[in-house]
Structure 1
Amino acid sequence: MGGENIMIASEALQGQQTTTDFLASVRLRAQRRVLWLQTLWSEDIAIAKQSLAISATEVDRILTPPPVMAEAEAAFYQSDRTAQEMTQQLQLAEEQLAHDQNWQGLRQLFGLSDRESDLLLLAIAVEVDPLLRRVYGYLHDDATMGYATPWLASLLFQWNAASVPGLESGLLRWRLAVPAEGQQHGSIASAWVADPYIVGWLVQGQRLDPMLGTAVQRIPATPGTGQTCLYPAELAAMREFIVAIAHTPPDHPEALPSFTALELELIAPEGAGKRTLAAQVCGSLGVSLLVADSSLLLGAEVSLTLAAERVLRVLRSARLNRSVPYWHRVEDTNPKVWRSLRDTSQLTIFGATAPLGQRHNGALRRVVSLPSLTRKQRLELWQQLTNGSPVPDPVLNWVLTPGEITEAARAARAGTAAVVAVCQQMVHHEPGELFNLLICPYTWEDIVLPSAIRQHLEELEQQARLRWQVYEEWGFERLCPVGRGITAMFAGPSGTGKTMAAQVLARSLGMELYRVDLAGVVNKYIGETEKRLKQVFDACERANVVLFFDEADALFGQRTQVKDAHDRFANIEIDYLLQRMEQFDGIAILATNRKGDMDQAFIRRLRFIVDFIQPGPTERLKIWKLALLERSPGGEALLENLDWQRLAKQLNMTGADIKGAALGAAFLARASGTRITMQHLFHAAQREMAKHGIVIRAGDWEG
């Protein structure tokens, strides 16, 4: 190599006045090596000035056995005064490097060997100081090789022989440095490139990997995270579990606790506070939490290769920041992605709305399901968020998550009505193909029932209204370990008031009424009915609605003798329904006019069974008077010479039939330009009863 290049290499090493402390070692080693090469190449340079021929001296030097050359180089460093001074400076630099917490922490966290550390340091140096590329080219005796190589590292750091890090090395496994694109991994002359995040972390103190963007957030290790713990029992159990399994190196008490590979799954609805609880657990352990949004990083549109790389980047950032990784919203992530967690993580926390299933990555796993907030907890959280504002009914009696209560609290200044509207928007689902909204125009004054049935319905309403006080404040939830909902069956002939009673109850409770479309739920394809039923129950569980299954015998009928695969799966559907009904925390009403066809297993699990019967004369009289208005809203008289007792006694009709007859008579009277008379009512009653195949003759009426 020419004298001009020697001058360039020397100037590149001496030109920078300020360098990062941990790179002083690389610079001094390169300077010392340049000094040695200048001595070796001095004769070659003289020959090169006279001709382009390769000198015999250069060939002899190249063919000299490496151990002999290494001994000669070592002897030169001991004999040359300038080299001796560089060696002394190098020893001081190495001592400083040994006390550099970031560098030594990096080595320890990722288990780097001395040789891996040397190669990484060489790769980082050229990223921090790009002028070193020319020095590297000089040291390689090739101006195009301005990068770190295992061969160059072996010379500068005086390895006994050049070697390449294995695929299982910490350097490659954590992608701290990798062969440049297009380079062969196994070659000692391959170019190695340091990861930009690792360079930034060492030089600039860069906390998070910029490649992950806003999908990652670090929550510092603050005990309690400044928020009230909503799940103290779960926090204590998780912390006890972690501490029991973890072991911290005695000589590094400040390090992260070490684990065999431990995973915690926090299962709860969105907004339940899983992330806050994870931060509180980590805060109690004195470590920070690194939150990664899986829906942004590992969505379905992300390839498996890219997803695995992002997982590794998150775990790498967690280690560098002494943090526990928390994966948020992991439900839709490809399970294969988590295989990359094997042997790469100590403690990992997942947040999901349902258990994730087996992942077969060798980690010890514990699933923690977070309970719904109690009435008392919802009240306390509301008061903390609003400084004692009046508590609206949804906060007290709806199963709201902490996130939903927090959102509702933002509307507290606008008044109770605004808060209720916000709560409805958050938890109510728009009627879809599986259920539809029923209007609830009726009150208790509009429905006519025998006193025993009415009392039964009032008891149902009381339990629906007071269930949280009885369950939680009085402690009776121990008697309902599976589900705390209320299920009822309304059984009786058509038209006896089952649907109307459901409407009255829903309105009295301040709840919406959703009627399940059984034609849309029941499906001929095996397993599809269960999926649709799950959608119905999941959508209505927390929506503070009454779920109404009309003609429920079509869905909740008796199990059959198994004759073929369809019978077997039909029975599985019924078994699933039994289980799901028990777990349901809402209010469900099953209506049927064929109680005898219902599966007895259902009937045993129902809280209320209300038998609706045909109305008697007394009830029919009240229904007729409710159905037939004496005057219009404008004050016009509408009725003429009605015999109420005769209507009630001689027309054995249900409430629905009476309403239909009253409406038909009103149209007949309007068409004839008269008031409603007995003749109009008789004719309308004939039409109404003919729908049921019952003929009313004039003689029967007169009789």
Structure 2
Amino acid sequence: MRWLALFIAWWLHQLRSLMGQAPSAVPAKTAAAPRLVKPAEAPVPGATVARVLDRVRAHARLHALWMAELWRLGQSSPDQGLAITAGETGRLLTAPADQAAARAAFLASDPTAKALAPTAAAADAALANDAGWTGFCEDFGLSPPAADLMALALAVAWEPDLGRVLAYLQDDGQALQPSRQLAARLFDNPEPLDAAPLLAWRLAQPLNGAAPDLPATCWAADPAVAVSLAEGSWRDPLLDGGARLVSPEGRLPLHQASLATLQAVAASDERPLVIDLCGAEGLGRQTLAARFAAGRGQALLALDAALLLGRPNAEPQRILAAGHRMARALGAIPYWRGADRIAAADWLAVSDTVDLALRGWPAAGPFGPAAGKAAITLEPLHTSDRLALWSQHSPAEPPRLVALQRLTAGEVVAAALAAPIGPGAVRAALRRSAPPQDDLLNLVPTPYVWDDLVAPPELERQLREFADQIRLRWAVYEDWGFERLTPMGRGLAALFGGASGLGKTMAAQVIARELDLDLYRVDLAGVVDKYVGETEKRLRSVFDYCERAGCILFFDEADALFGKRTQVKDAHDRFANIEIDYLLQRIEAFNGVTILATNRKSELDSAFLRRLRLIIDFLPPGEDERLALWKKALLPQSPTGEDLLDGIDWAFLAGELSMNGAEIKATALGAAFLAKADGGRIAMPHVLAAAQRELSKQGIILRTPLEAGS
């Protein structure tokens, strides 16, 4: 057996040489990454890696000596499992306590082991005093056995060649990752392993889905843990681009009442505690969360659920756990933006990985079993807050829309920053903040002012009254306290009734321009859907956008949507009535401005009419109004000063042609083309010919041409 003794001596020499190699280099720390521990305790990047590797190497050398001793005694096989001897069988049948005592006695007496023992003890002490390692173990509640297993798994991640050493120490050439059994033997710690923190925080995972409680199950460290401990700062590739530390923005203390409510709820001893912050995008939910965290002496880790969960092949539970793990490592409070993208089942699966979490929800609020302990709805900013926020970011005079529209904090800031460029840039910034549902809404141009609108005095008075209510509504609601009378909604709705061509659309355009608000016409063909429930869904998106954007919502031919409910004779009637009921509720709860135009007011549901602030009737123009309309339509001169009219009989046009505003405009345009074709000015024959054509559209056919004075 001399050859066997020589082989063992050679192998020990090779093993000692291998274990004496210096640790491999570790990745450099990225400058932008947050620290893993407090700045005062921050380790030198790579120091934790070196200390873990030193400890693993030292204890591996000691255990390797013991294995060599077992070969010498014939109690193990140098063939690493290819042969099983009687001596090995006898040792394995010995009580574990006796095996541990024999190992301890050998290590205490063997000269080589005695020489290595101080090195191992020094490595133990160095790692026990390493701020990065101790902070990591404390943050995630790792017991000594769990920390030992984690150290072995990380050592293989940082130094892949050590996998072969671990395979040798486990007497299995395929076991390149550590097991709980090896960790207990290597570090002489027989305490049972509590694997729950490793699994819950996904710090390490059993290979190939093996049972975590089995002693021989091999474990692998999560790459993010290996990278973060190596760099001395927490960085998780799984969260790249979707996670960042945020601090309170701005000096203006917005949403004070919501902050007080949040602090009161968080004072509860209940853990885990999940609090949902509800409100529109840009309203300040994240800023409120950051102020709350700062008040507790913590940072806020903002996590973008829409971005992270929307990536291809995203694993929601793994991403959620990674976000909570990063927050725990940084001592931060996690805040999930876009929490409506998180499935309830996925959240419940990782709920034990967080003590306190905040989530941002749309204005509709959270639903389902994953709803938080409390839902705090952020109210829209008061007018004075919007104006103060504007002044904080721009020295320019705030435009009227800052007071008229319930802009979010983000929109006010975006508009203020765009103000130096001009009014158009402000409007563009607001449209970028709240892009319209362009498949359902059409932006209506607003070229007209009050002087362009020809209306009887009473009609103009009512229109100006409606414009004043839009302009002053927040002053009345907020400053005078009249919002108590409108608990369901604080919007304004007016009905413009009358035949086609009487100026209903033009009046809406004038009001929108007067108030500097966008005017959107609803595409009724796109809203009404043949599938049950789809019409309500489309209407909801229309109302939600217009409430969010603060524009004027214009329903033309409103009777198509707001008609009378019918007696239920079949399923179609029942669902049609459901749509009308939804409209009635939504129009009452709407916080925006709605204008509805119809030429069949009698067909509208009476319950709907009661919810309108104003009903304004547009009557056919009288002679005086027709005269004014003709004079506005037939321009006397071109922009270059050229005379355009020749002998127009205004009295005849106003007194004899019973036409509305739209018909007069069409007639004037037709006459202009006829005159241009004749190469002269616009004369009465041109106007009368164009008028005859326009009247024919209404079914009025004249056997003889119109003539002035006839």
TM-score, normalized by the shorter chain, greater than 0.5: yes
Separation of aligned partners in 1, 2:85 and 2:672: 122
Which residue of the partner structure matches residue 41 of structure 1? Answer: 71
Separation of aligned partners in 1, 2:177 and 2:437: 64
User: Of 208, 212, 231, which residue of structure 1 is paired with 2:239?
Assistant: 212
* Structure 1: tracts of 5 or more residues without a match: 247-258
- Secondary structure at the counterpart of residue 207 of structure 1: coil
Separation of aligned partners in 2, 1:417 and 1:497: 28
* Alpha-carbon distance change, 429 to 212 in structure 1, aligned in 2, over 3 angstroms: closer
Contact 1:149 1:192 in 2 (8 A): yes
In the TM superposition, residue 548 of structure 1 has moved relative to its aligned partner by 1.8
User: Of 620, 624, 638, which residue of structure 2 is paired with 1:618?
Assistant: 624
Which residue of the partner structure matches residue 320 of structure 1? Answer: 329
In the TM superposition, residue 600 of structure 1 has moved relative to its aligned partner by 1.5
Q: Does 1:152 align with 2:182?
A: yes
In the TM superposition, residue 232 of structure 1 has moved relative to its aligned partner by 1.5
In the TM superposition, residue 73 of structure 1 has moved relative to its aligned partner by 2.7
- Secondary structure at the counterpart of residue 649 of structure 2: coil
Once the two structures are overlaid, the 10-residue window that deviates more, 653-662 or 74-83, is: 74-83
Separation of aligned partners in 1, 2:483 and 2:603: 32
User: Of 193, 203, 222, which residue of structure 2 is paired with 1:195?
Assistant: 222
Within a 5 Å distance, the mapping from 1:568-583 to structure 2 comes to: 568-583=574-589
In the TM superposition, residue 25 of structure 1 has moved relative to its aligned partner by 5.5
Which residue of the partner structure matches residue 573 of structure 2? Answer: 567
Contact 1:435 1:515 in 2 (8 A): yes
For residues 16-40 of structure 1, the C-alpha deviation after alignment (integer angstroms, 9 at most, x for no partner) is 5998456665455444434444444
* Alpha-carbon distance change, 156 to 424 in structure 1, aligned in 2, over 3 angstroms: closer
User: Of 261, 279, 282, which residue of structure 2 is paired with 1:271?
Assistant: 282
For residues 369-421 of structure 1, the C-alpha deviation after alignment (integer angstroms, 9 at most, x for no partner) is 222223222222222223x233234444333322233333333443x335434
Separation of aligned partners in 2, 1:631 and 1:92: 100
Which residue of the partner structure matches residue 376 of structure 1? Answer: 384
In the TM superposition, residue 625 of structure 1 has moved relative to its aligned partner by 3.2
The one-letter code sitting in structure 1 at the alignment partner of 2:460 is R
Separation of aligned partners in 2, 1:158 and 1:668: 106
Separation of aligned partners in 2, 1:89 and 1:599: 90
Which residue of the partner structure matches residue 526 of structure 1? Answer: 532
User: Of 599, 604, 621, which residue of structure 2 is paired with 1:598?
Assistant: 604
Separation of aligned partners in 2, 1:294 and 1:23: 36
Contact 1:394 1:420 in 2 (8 A): no
* Alpha-carbon distance change, 520 to 30 in structure 1, aligned in 2, over 3 angstroms: closer
- Secondary structure at the counterpart of residue 477 of structure 2: helix
Q: Does 1:657 align with 2:666?
A: no
Separation of aligned partners in 2, 1:77 and 1:376: 78
* Alpha-carbon distance change, 439 to 66 in structure 1, aligned in 2, over 3 angstroms: closer
Aligned residues with identical type, % of pairs: 43
* Alpha-carbon distance change, 512 to 153 in structure 1, aligned in 2, over 3 angstroms: closer
Contact 1:215 1:296 in 2 (8 A): yes
Separation of aligned partners in 2, 1:54 and 1:428: 74
The one-letter code sitting in structure 1 at the alignment partner of 2:557 is E
The one-letter code sitting in structure 1 at the alignment partner of 2:306 is S
User: Of 409, 422, 430, which residue of structure 1 is paired with 2:428?
Assistant: 422
Which residue of the partner structure matches residue 649 of structure 2? Answer: 642
Contact 2:169 2:182 in 1 (8 A): yes
Which residue of the partner structure matches residue 482 of structure 1? Answer: 488
Contact 1:288 1:323 in 2 (8 A): yes
Contact 2:495 2:614 in 1 (8 A): yes
User: Of 262, 271, 280, which residue of structure 1 is paired with 2:273?
Assistant: 262
Separation of aligned partners in 2, 1:235 and 1:481: 23
Q: Does 1:296 align with 2:307?
A: yes
The one-letter code sitting in structure 1 at the alignment partner of 2:354 is S
Q: Which has the higher contact order (CA 8 A, sep 6+)?
A: 2
The one-letter code sitting in structure 2 at the alignment partner of 1:468 is W
User: Of 392, 413, 427, which residue of structure 1 is paired with 2:399?
Assistant: 392
- Secondary structure at the counterpart of residue 560 of structure 1: coil
In the TM superposition, residue 263 of structure 1 has moved relative to its aligned partner by 1.6
- Secondary structure at the counterpart of residue 2 of structure 1: helix
* Alpha-carbon distance change, 355 to 629 in structure 1, aligned in 2, over 3 angstroms: closer
CA RMSD of aligned residues (A): 3.8
* Alpha-carbon distance change, 392 to 505 in structure 1, aligned in 2, over 3 angstroms: closer
Contact 2:200 2:350 in 1 (8 A): no
User: Of 552, 555, 559, which residue of structure 2 is paired with 1:549?
Assistant: 555
Contact 2:280 2:548 in 1 (8 A): no
Which residue of the partner structure matches residue 633 of structure 2? Answer: 627
The one-letter code sitting in structure 2 at the alignment partner of 1:234 is S
Separation of aligned partners in 2, 1:661 and 1:53: 108
Separation of aligned partners in 2, 1:200 and 1:468: 54
For residues 438-461 of structure 1, the C-alpha deviation after alignment (integer angstroms, 9 at most, x for no partner) is 333332222222211111111112
* Structure 2: tracts of 5 or more residues without a match: 1-6, 24-46
Which residue of the partner structure matches residue 35 of structure 2? Answer: none
Once the two structures are overlaid, the 10-residue window that deviates more, 509-518 or 312-321, is: 509-518
Which residue of the partner structure matches residue 521 of structure 2? Answer: 515
- Secondary structure at the counterpart of residue 460 of structure 2: helix
The one-letter code sitting in structure 1 at the alignment partner of 2:467 is E
Q: Does 1:231 align with 2:255?
A: yes
Separation of aligned partners in 2, 1:565 and 1:234: 45
- Secondary structure at the counterpart of residue 605 of structure 1: coil
Once the two structures are overlaid, the 10-residue window that deviates more, 500-509 or 185-194, is: 185-194
Contact 1:151 1:189 in 2 (8 A): yes
- Secondary structure at the counterpart of residue 215 of structure 2: coil
For residues 44-96 of structure 1, the C-alpha deviation after alignment (integer angstroms, 9 at most, x for no partner) is 599989xx998765554455443432333344456668767877876776666
Which residue of the partner structure matches residue 202 of structure 2? Answer: 175
Separation of aligned partners in 2, 1:53 and 1:690: 109
Which residue of the partner structure matches residue 457 of structure 2? Answer: 451
In the TM superposition, residue 553 of structure 1 has moved relative to its aligned partner by 0.9
Which residue of the partner structure matches residue 149 of structure 2? Answer: 119
The one-letter code sitting in structure 1 at the alignment partner of 2:645 is L
* Alpha-carbon distance change, 498 to 181 in structure 1, aligned in 2, over 3 angstroms: same
Separation of aligned partners in 1, 2:342 and 2:664: 58
* Alpha-carbon distance change, 499 to 137 in structure 1, aligned in 2, over 3 angstroms: closer
Which residue of the partner structure matches residue 254 of structure 1? Answer: none
In the TM superposition, residue 612 of structure 1 has moved relative to its aligned partner by 1.4
Separation of aligned partners in 1, 2:77 and 2:596: 103
Which residue of the partner structure matches residue 375 of structure 2? Answer: 367
Contact 2:684 2:708 in 1 (8 A): no
Which residue of the partner structure matches residue 293 of structure 2? Answer: 282
Contact 1:398 1:542 in 2 (8 A): no
TM-score under structure 1 length normalisation: 0.84
Contact 1:262 1:365 in 2 (8 A): yes
In the TM superposition, residue 685 of structure 1 has moved relative to its aligned partner by 4.5
Contact 2:518 2:552 in 1 (8 A): yes
In the TM superposition, residue 193 of structure 1 has moved relative to its aligned partner by 1.9
In the TM superposition, residue 242 of structure 1 has moved relative to its aligned partner by 0.4
Contact 1:526 1:566 in 2 (8 A): no
Separation of aligned partners in 1, 2:449 and 2:78: 108
Separation of aligned partners in 1, 2:121 and 2:434: 70
Q: For this pair of structures, how many residues does the alignment match?
A: 676
Separation of aligned partners in 2, 1:615 and 1:154: 97
User: Of 44, 65, 68, which residue of structure 1 is paired with 2:98?
Assistant: 68
In the TM superposition, residue 489 of structure 1 has moved relative to its aligned partner by 0.5
* Alpha-carbon distance change, 450 to 48 in structure 1, aligned in 2, over 3 angstroms: closer
User: Of 385, 395, 408, which residue of structure 2 is paired with 1:401?
Assistant: 408
The one-letter code sitting in structure 1 at the alignment partner of 2:386 is R
Contact 1:427 1:542 in 2 (8 A): no
